[in-house]
């Protein structure tokens, strides 16, 4: 199984322990995702230190102040970087003004185009603006909607050819709409993630998440989709390998 979105630098156990625990659980690839300039350096160091770990380079919308895309270019060109992001809009916290978020979002879209790598999207309480910018700017770019939350917009997202990644919140009892949406995503567009240390799935809800926790979400999704875990795992592994090129 693959954890297609985590933040090793935010998790408390040491990297070696996190990676070893994940491997023992059956996690073969981990994509650790930067949120600011400092973590861009850290995630690349982690990817170079662990063969199963790869990096995504970018600025989270809540860290988009004073964004300079030129700082990202050498990191984005590193072979251990397989994606750009996470970027997008976050209107829940609004720690960065929407205009600054938009500028950083658009420039990271263009960076993804320049380096021919997938783009990882964060959107929270900003569905309309996120989809509008992607439609206007991201044609021809492989787009991953991380921690998918737009169950009512699933058909639109699939029509654009984007990838849909589900985190542990899909297992929550109150997230029936997300679980139902997960049944409809084609196998070649579906990914699973932890977003660790956040969003621990049932039955670990309330405790810090880590990459090994992706197995709980994967088992839940396989059951909802009515397929064996082995078949589900094979499909997710194939989709992630084709998308990220690892």
Q: Give the mean pLDDT of 54-80.
A: 97
Average pLDDT over the chain reads: 97
From the list 182, 191, 138, 130, the residue with the least C-alpha distance to 160 is 138
Asked if pLDDT for residue 94 goes beyond 90, the answer is no
pLDDT value at position 169? 98
pLDDT value at position 240? 98
Q: Give the mean pLDDT of 107-127.
A: 98
Asked if pLDDT for residue 95 goes beyond 90, the answer is no
- Spell out the domains of the chain, with CATH numbers in brackets: 2-244 (3.20.20.140)
pTM: 0.97
Tens of pLDDT, residue by residue over 209-229, are 999 999 999 999 999 999 999
How far is the C-alpha of 18 from the C-alpha of 1, rounded, in Å?
A: 15
Tens of pLDDT, residue by residue over 134-174, are 999 999 999 999 999 999 999 999 999 999 999 999 999 99
Q: Give the mean pLDDT of 84-89.
A: 98
Tens of pLDDT, residue by residue over 177-204, are 999 999 999 999 999 999 999 999 999 9
Tens of pLDDT, residue by residue over 38-61, are 999 999 999 999 999 999 999 999
């Amino acid at each position: 199984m693959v954890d297609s979105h985590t933040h090793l630098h935010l998790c408390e156990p040491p990297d070696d322990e996190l990676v070893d625990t994940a491997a023992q659980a059956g996690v073969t690839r981990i994509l650790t995702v930067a949120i600011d300039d400092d973590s861009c350096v850290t995630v690349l160091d982690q990817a170079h230190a662990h063969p199963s770990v790869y990096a995504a380079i970018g600025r989270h919308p809540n860290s988009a102040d004073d964004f300079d895309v030129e700082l990202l270019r050498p990191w984005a060109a590193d072979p251990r970087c397989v994606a750009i992001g996470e970027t997008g809009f976050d209107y829940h916290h609004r720690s960065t003004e929407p205009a600054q978020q938009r500028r950083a979002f658009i420039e990271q879209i263009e960076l993804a185009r320049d380096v021919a790598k997938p783009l990882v999207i964060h959107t929270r309480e900003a569905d309309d603006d996120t989809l509008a910018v992607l439609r206007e700017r991201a044609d021809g770019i492989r787009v991953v909607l991380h921690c998918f939350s737009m169950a009512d917009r699933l058909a639109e997202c699939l029509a654009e050819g984007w990838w849909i990644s589900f985190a542990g919140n899909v297992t929550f009892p109150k997230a029936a709409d997300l679980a139902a949406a997960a049944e409809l995503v084609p196998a070649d567009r579906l990914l699973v993630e932890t977003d660790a240390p956040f969003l621990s799935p049932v039955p670990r809800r309330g405790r810090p998440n880590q990459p090994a926790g992706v197995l709980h979400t994967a088992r839940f999704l396989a059951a909802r989709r009515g397929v064996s875990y082995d078949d589900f795992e094979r499909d997710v592994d194939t989709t992630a390998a084709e998308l990220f090129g690892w």
